[in-house]
Amino acid sequence: MAHRRAVALIETARPKVHSAFVYGMGGVGAEEATSPHVPGMRARPHHRYESRSRAGFSVIQLLVSIIVLVLLLVGVTRGVYEESGAAGTMSRKGERRAKAILVRMQHELASAVGTFPAARLADDMAIADVDQIAVDTTMGFPDRGTLLIDRGDAQREYVEYDAIGAGGTAFTVASRGERCSSPAQHQRGAAVLWADQAEVIADLTRPLESQFDGITREDSGPTHFRGDGTGFAFRIASPEAAAPGVKVREDRPLGWAYLAFEPVSVVTEMSRQRDINGDGDRLDSFDCGRIEMRTWNSADPTVEATTVALSPPVVLQPVCGRGGDMDGDGYADPIFLWNPSSQTLHVRMTILAGDVREVTMTTRADKVLHLKSGS
């Protein structure tokens, strides 16, 4: 009896062990964990502490994510602002360039008389002829430049020449098959033009394809013209030939002159990462050059010709197809378009302003100059 009482007292004094499932570590059926029962304290499952621990970590992670997002937004906004500012600065730079070039042109043409140099072959011209081109006249042609023979024909050819022969009836050939053309045979009497100049074709609402080289848009509507449109030939008016009220510059020798596009380098849309002419691709190449003015005296070949640059090398023109569409509107954009009936010279230029983040920026210059010296 005494023995039984001793065993009961020992069992009563021994601490009881309660089991609790460890949630989150295997779920139902997971290994049980034991904890001693302390009188007066209720056992709490471990999963409650783990839940609080995970909730606290999620809040910290959320705060870090918000901070990172804010920093990213600040960086992107700053980059967009800086890029927009750089683009605006470059655009204004291009506009200043365009304005300076146009003002210089207007100054040089203050006493100009526009003309359109044209001649005809005096003899047949074979493919093998590489020395001289015999013509009926060279009056008004620059002392060097590019000829267009048989325009509007399958034998159309561009020929570079570097001098005018004695007597003014021949051109000294520098090279044939220029500007993406090929050497061809030409018959006596074929038309020979100074290739760079473009002239409006009057009174032809629906000309044949052989009668014009391009269609551009003027204030009066679509206008046909012949020539490439990268140059303009003119005479320097004497005081006697000038129209009333027109002041003739005394520092200019009498004679002939021209404005012309002179290529310096090549720009490709692929390398500049931009569709420069707006035709929907990035496959085109452009000559990048300057506008030059050359003055010479065709009556006295001993007088040395002079050349002056009117712009830096920032003017763009298609490598093949001078005077072509430069703004994607479907119409040609000759740099110079001479209208003899109105005595006006329409100047259009696509000017390279610069690069912003390796993307090319361009500016458009467009102005009609009125020549008041008469014809």
Q: How far apart are CA 350 and CA 347, in angstroms?
A: 10
Give the N- to C-terminal CA distance of the chain in Å, as an integer: 148
CB contact set of 274 (below 8 Å; sequence gap of 6+): 282, 359, 360
Edge to edge, the sheet with strand 157-164 lists 118-120, 191-194, 145-149, 157-164, 170-178, 132-134
304 CB neighbour count, 10 Å cutoff = 8
Q: Which two tokens stand for residue 73?
A: 């937004």
Q: Which two tokens stand for residue 216?
A: 């551009």
Q: Which two tokens stand for residue 282?
A: 């990035």
pLDDT digits (tens, 9 = 90+) for 93-140: 878 888 999 999 988 888 788 888 899 999 999 999 889 999 999 988
Q: How far does CA 306 lie from the centroid of its chain?
A: 30
Instruction: Write the CA distances from 312 to 258, 292, 326, integer angstroms.
Output: 17, 9, 19
pLDDT digits (tens, 9 = 90+) for 161-212: 998 887 889 999 999 999 889 999 999 999 999 999 999 987 666 777 777 8
195 CB neighbour count, 10 Å cutoff = 27
Query: Which of 295 and 248 is assigned the larger pLDDT?
Result: 295
Among the ranges 38-42, 63-67, 257-261, 371-375, which has the highest mean pLDDT value? 257-261
pTM of the predicted model over 0.85: no
pLDDT digits (tens, 9 = 90+) for 314-339: 999 999 888 999 999 999 999 999 99
CA atoms within 13 A on the CB side of 107: 9
CB contact set of 293 (below 8 Å; sequence gap of 6+): 108, 257, 258, 259, 307, 308, 310
What pLDDT is stored for residue 69 in this prediction?
85
Q: Which two tokens stand for residue 192?
A: 């020979």
- Domain limits, the chain: 85-370
What pLDDT is stored for residue 12 in this prediction?
54
Q: How far apart are CA 343 and CA 60, in angstroms?
A: 78
Given a contact cutoff of 8 angstroms between Cβ atoms, the answer to whether 182 and 323 are in contact is: no
Q: Coil, strand or helix: which one is 14?
A: coil
